Each structure stands twice: as C-alpha cells, then as structure tokens.
C-alpha cells in the first residue's frame, strides 16, 4: 500500500492552480482497499489528530507522515473521499486529502514562507484594482468587493487605497500591518498550521488575501468568496462565452476552494 499511495499523490503540488493543470492528465491506480474510516484520535503514534485508516491500516502521506486531521469532522470528510473512489483512486476527486498532504508535508515544516506569500498577495490584492469600464463590470466589482473593503476597515481599522487599472498603488503600512496580524503564523499548534494551509490555498485560488481572510473570519461564505473572486471571469463569460477546458479547470479549482473552506469552517470553533 505504501508504494501505491506514494505513486498516486507524490506529484500533487501545493499550488492549486498547478494542481488543476496537472489533474487534467492524471495517472490513475486501481483501488487497493475495501474500507476507509477514521481512527479514534486525538492521540496517535505521531501525537495528534484523527487518522484515516484503510482496512484498519493508517495511511501515510507522500513524505511518510500520518494522514490525520486535527478534528474528527475533517478526518471523516477525508475518509469519505477514499470511500467514494470506485475502481480507481483519482486524486482529482480528493481535494481535502490533497490539501491535507500539502499541509502535513509542506506547511508544517515551513509555515513562515507560506504566511509571507499571503502577505505578498495582500500588498497587491485583487480587490484594490478596479476596472474603469464597462459600466456593468464596474458595478459588479463594487457590489462584490466593497463590502470586504468595508469589513477590513470596520474589523481591523485598515483603510486601503483603491485604484483603476493595473498600475501598482502602495498601500498604507498601517493598513497592511493590521491585516498581516490576522494571518496565522503556524506557531500555535496543529490547528494553526491547518488554518494557514487552508488560507494559503484560498488566497492563491482567489488572488485575494482579503477574500481569504474574510472567509476565515466568517465574514463571507465560501460561495460568496468564490463569486467575488470570479467577478471578472464571469463578466467575460457573460459577454463572450466559455470553452470546455476552462470550465473543467474551474470545476476543479472550485473543489479546491470548498476543501479549504471546510478546513477553515471546522476549525473556526477550535482554539
């Protein structure tokens, strides 16, 4: 089982955009287990979590660490992904398992660079740069994005500068610092690591650290954050239509978004 599992997941990247691209040409392996369920936890051989078990045996990540969730609900959701596989194991249909692998093998070892990347997004956030025209797109951006800008001001005292076009605008240092302070640092235990990993995925998928932070804070639902992130794309589709490949990638990316949102949601009531 070790070799099969590693072969399935070892090339799955943390970057959800790259992951979406690779998912379009997967190398699938036959299902090699009968049953998937969650171990008792929260203690296990590696000290924490609710492990996923296949036929009673613990699953290992590509780096040979225990595949375990910090809360039972997430462990059950991962086990459900494994149960849902039919004759083959398809990583493209297991977004939460892929995210868990990335967090356990990647984020846990180097949380600071992950947090720093979110900070970089915040400095040039999608929501700061508005289209000058057409009028319909201008209205849609205002409707979807202004409430998040207002939330940042009301909840964090952060006043950001908005601009038309794509020319870089330097944001006030105090505003950036106020939001940076709400990014998990990964130093406060396993839940903090998982929050950081999920926040990173949402930021990358949406192009907006503000949307990711608003989602983590409960200010936006996952569907609202997704809609806000895709205002421009949806406008273009309404005007020009879409192609099948782009829609396939979008479905995959939306599943990634839902998995990350599930992590943030389940951990929202945890210390």
Instruction: Confirm if 137 and 129 have CB atoms less than 8 A apart.
Output: no
pLDDT digits (tens, 9 = 90+) for 173-193: 999 999 999 999 988 899 999
State yes or no: pLDDT of 1 exceeds 70. no
- Unique residue bearing structure tokens 């979406």: 20
User: Is the N-terminal amide bond of 134 cis, ω within 30° of 0?
Assistant: yes
Helices 95-102 + 2-9 axis angle, to 10: 90
Q: Where are the domains of the chain?
A: 2-106, 111-267
This prediction's pTM: 0.88
* Region 194-218 average pLDDT: 97
Q: What residue ranges in the chain does DSSP mark as E strands?
A: 29-30, 36-38, 50-54, 57-58, 68-69, 88-89, 129-130, 163-164
The hierarchical CATH code for the domain 111-267 is: 1.10.3580.10
Kindly tell me if the per-residue pLDDT of 10 is higher than 90: no
Measure the CA–CA gap between 141 and 151, rounded to whole angstroms: 15
For 257, phi and psi rounded to 5 degrees?
-60, -45
Pairing mode, strands 163-164 and 129-130: parallel
Q: What pLDDT sits at residue 45?
A: 44
How many angstroms separate the CA atoms of 244 and 240, rounded?
A: 13
What does the alpha-carbon distance between residue 260 and residue 226 come to, in Å, rounded to a whole number? 12
2-106 and 111-267, same CATH topology: no
Cβ-proximal residues to 189 (8 Å cutoff; 6+ apart), any chain? none
**Which one, of 174, 183, 178, lies nearest residue 156 by Cα?**
178
* pLDDT per position as a tens digit, 212-255: 999 999 999 999 999 999 999 999 999 988 888 888 899 999 99
CA distance 78 to 58: 13
CATH number of 2-106: 3.30.2180.10
DSSP designation for 30: E
**HSE toward the beta carbon, residue 210, CA cutoff 13 A:** 27
Q: State the average pLDDT over residues 82-111.
A: 94
Query: Which phi and psi (to 5°) does residue 18 adopt?
Result: -65, -40
Average pLDDT over the chain, rounded to whole? 89
Quick check: 46 pLDDT over 80? no
pLDDT at residue 23 greater than cutoff 90:
no
Beta bridge partners of 60: 66
Sign of the Cα pseudo-torsion (146, 148, 150, 152, in order): negative
- Lowest mean pLDDT segment, chosen from 37-51, 105-119, 150-164, 227-241: 37-51
Stretch 155-182: mean pLDDT: 96
């Amino acid at each position: 089982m070790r070799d099969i599992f590693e072969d399935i997941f070892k090339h799955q990247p943390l970057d959800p955009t790259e992951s979406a691209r690779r998912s379009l040409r997967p190398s699938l392996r036959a299902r090699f287990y009968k049953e998937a369920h969650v171990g008792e936890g929260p203690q296990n051989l590696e000290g924490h979590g609710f492990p996923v078990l296949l036929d009673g045996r613990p699953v290992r990540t590509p780096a040979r660490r225990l595949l375990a969730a910090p809360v039972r609900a997430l462990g059950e959701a991962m086990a459900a992904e494994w149960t849902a596989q039919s004759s083959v194991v398809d990583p493209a249909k297991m977004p939460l398992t892929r995210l868990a692998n990335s967090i356990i093998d990647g984020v846990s070892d180097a949380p600071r660079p992950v947090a720093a990347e979110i900070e970089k997004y915040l400095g040039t956030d999608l929501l700061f740069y508005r289209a000058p025209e057409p009028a319909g797109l201008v209205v849609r951006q205002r409707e979807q994005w202004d409430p998040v800008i207002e939330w940042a001001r009301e909840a964090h005292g952060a006043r950001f500068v908005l601009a038309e076009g794509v020319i870089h605008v330097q944001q006030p240092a105090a505003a950036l610092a106020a939001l940076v302070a709400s990014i998990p640092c990964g130093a406060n235990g396993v839940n903090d690591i998982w929050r950081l990993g999920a926040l990173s995925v949402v930021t990358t998928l949406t192009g907006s650290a503000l949307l990711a932070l608003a989602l983590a804070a409960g200010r936006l639902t996952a569907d609202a954050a997704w809609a806000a992130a895709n205002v421009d794309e949806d406008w273009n589709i309404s005007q020009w239509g879409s192609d099948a490949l782009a829609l396939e990638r979008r479905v995959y990316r939306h599943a990634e978004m839902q998995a990350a949102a599930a992590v943030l949601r389940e951990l929202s009531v945890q210390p």
